[in-house]
Structure 1
Amino acid sequence: MIPAKEEIQRVKPEVERYVRQRISEFKSLRENNLTTFDFRPFVNIEPYQADIFSEACFCILTANSSAVLGIKLQKEIGVDGFKSYPEEKLFEIIRKKGHRFAHQRAERIVKLREKENFLLKIAKEKDGKEAREKLVKEIYGYGYKEASHFLRNIGFNDVAIIDRHISRFLFEKGLVKPRKTITKKVYLECEQALEKIASDLELTQAELDLYIFYIKTGKVLK
């Protein structure tokens, strides 16, 4: 088995330009509250715009689902739709795309509208880990993974997204012990292991996540 750092170095030349592009899109989202995402050639979908609120909704949609489905829904619903569509319309769009938890996700998106100003304030925080604690406390349904996902996608570089792809990568490389569930303690243990890899490779946590996701899926998404 190829050690973690060596495997990341092996794939880096293949996808470095896509990783840099994605990081630039995230940075624009944080600085301007607007960005244009282009996921080609990994997903056959035309570029589209997203703002900070729609990105928080995207992170709700990808939980227990997939990034590809979340991307398709984010494009179809659009910046204005996340803020204005009735819950019933959101439900129908999400259901038709095949999401298993369409009703719950539509309900959460409508509820999140109450927190739009809070999300814009979070984007101005300096420390990602402190911002994550505030999100977990304030946003209904956000755990460490969802909060970290949102923060990374709006330009924070210092938090890790411990999903099934990342945890499996760490387990396979022998960097953490296999666990059946990812508790807060396990999450922070995994994040610490990733911080060491990122430091050794002179990458940010945000960049490292995109490389590992590519190793596990063959795609650079978000």
Structure 2
Amino acid sequence: MRSEPEKCGRASGPASTAVTWSPRSGFGYLNVRRGEPLGVGRGRSIPPILSSPIGFADPLKPRYRDIDGLRAEYEAKQDAIRARLEDFRRTGHKADERLFEELCFCIVAIQSKARASDSAVAALRTTQLLWSGGPDEIATFLRHRTRFHNHKAAFIVRARERFFPQGHGELAKTLDSFPSSKDARGWLVREVHGLGLKEASHFLRNTGRGEDLAILDRHILRNLIRHGVLRRLPRTLTPKRYLDIERRIESFSEEIGIPMAALDLLFWSRETGEIFK
């Protein structure tokens, strides 16, 4: 027979607590019984992972994993990571032509290897195709250097026409006019064909203007799963889902004490063996 639930303010007699552990949901449920001394509950004891100063962890809070190992790895690599981030900040103070080269790198690097993409853009600069080549010429040059060479060539030419209509640009001035990196990112996504949230975030980070932005590729997502920030790989990255994951990384970064931009380079170095960009 089910007993009548206690009502607030009318409880009498000693009570006991017990926790029933649900393996399906992963939560512990608190049962309160009258008539027994406290601490003589009949349910299972609460698993250690739910322990907290008041007895229970917030069930909505992610259960991060291997944080000590992550911090130790960051400790070993932080000098190189900080030096790379400082390189990005210096790049951000250079002329618009240099910023445009970095923008082209982020375009060429879409679903392609970073080192090969960097070499391709450097070769485009050396041959002057980056500044004078048409879509067909650039596409031919990129054919064996990157995937989707036709699309990327068209994106490069359209970006060049957008930011250097009279041969000189105001890209840095425009980017610095926005109140936040996220506002600048939104503008880039709207203005530059071929740039999504990831590519725009990548460009801003590489020019010292987006250290609080997430650059979500498969390397980063796999490491987020490894540390309990995500449960599984998302099937698609819609803008809404991208921003949701970015907020999760912000919380994770704050809790473990490693800046977002440093986390990105740390995760990237795990997958590729180097701290690049």
TM-score range, shorter chain: 0.7 to 0.9
Higher helix share: 1
Paired residues for 1:3-82 under 5 Å: 3=65, 5-33=67-95, 51-78=98-125, 80-82=128-130
Q: How many aligned residue pairs are there?
A: 205
The aligned residue for residue 35 of structure 2 is: none
User: Percent identity over the alignment?
Assistant: 31
Which residue of structure 2 aligns with residue 141 of structure 1?
A: 194
Aligned Cα root-mean-square deviation (Å): 2.2
Distance in 1 between residues matched to 2:119 and 2:70, nearest whole Å: 28
Give unmatched runs, 5+ long, in structure 2: 1-63, 164-168
> Aligned partners of 1:154, 1:3: CA distance in 2, in Å?
32
Which digits, 9 at most, give the CA deviation of each residue in 1:88-130, with x for residues without a partner? Answer: 3322221132x22111111110111122246333431341111
Q: Return the alpha-carbon distance in structure 1 between the equivalents of residues 197 and 66 of structure 2.
A: 23
| Aligned residue among 154, 157, 161 for 1:114 | 161
Partner residue in 1 for 2:133: 85
Structure 2 distance, partners of 1:185, 1:32, is 33
Corresponding residue number in structure 1 for 2:185: 132
- Which residue does 1:170 correspond to in 2? 224
Residue 188 of structure 1 and its aligned partner are, at CA, apart by 1.4
Report the Cα distance in structure 1 between the residues aligned to 2:68 and 2:142, rounded to whole angstroms: 40
The alpha-carbon deviation at position 4 of structure 1 amounts to 5.2
The answer to whether the aligner puts 1:204 opposite 2:259 as a matched pair is yes
Alignment partner of 2:204 out of 151, 154, 157: 151
Letter matched to residue 71 of structure 1: D
TM value normalised by structure 2: 0.67
CA distance in structure 2 between the aligned counterparts of 1:201 and 1:91, rounded to whole angstroms: 44
CA distance in 2, matches of 1:115, 1:71: 22
Name the residue aligned to 1:123.
175
Give per-residue Cα distances to partners, 1:47-104, cap 9 Å, x unaligned. Answer: xxx810011111100111121221111222227542223333322221132x221111
* 1:214 correspondence with 2:214: no
Displacement after TM superposition at 1:161 (Å) = 0.5
The answer to whether the Cα contact below 8 Å between 1:169 and 1:216 also exists between their aligned partners in 2 is: no
Once residues 69 and 238 of structure 2 are traced to their aligned partners in structure 1, the CA distance between those partners, rounded to angstroms, is: 27
Q: Distance in 2 between matches of 1:115 and 1:203?
A: 37
Q: Distance in 2 between matches of 1:103 and 1:144?
A: 21
- Structure of greater Rg: 2
User: Aligned partners of 1:89, 1:19: CA distance in 2, in Å?
Assistant: 37
**TM-score scaled by length of structure 1:** 0.82
Q: Which amino acid aligns with 2:198?
A: K
Please, which of 241, 247, 252 is the counterpart of residue 192 of structure 1? Answer: 247
Question: Highest relative contact order (Cα 8 Å, sep 6+), 1 or 2?
Answer: 1
8 A contact 1:145–1:161 mirrored in 2: yes
**Does the aligned pair in 2 maintain the 1:132–1:148 contact within 8 Å?**
yes
* 1:119-157 deviation line (CA, Å, top 9, x unaligned): 333431341111111111111121111111111111021
What is the aligned counterpart of 1:161 among 209, 215, 228?
215
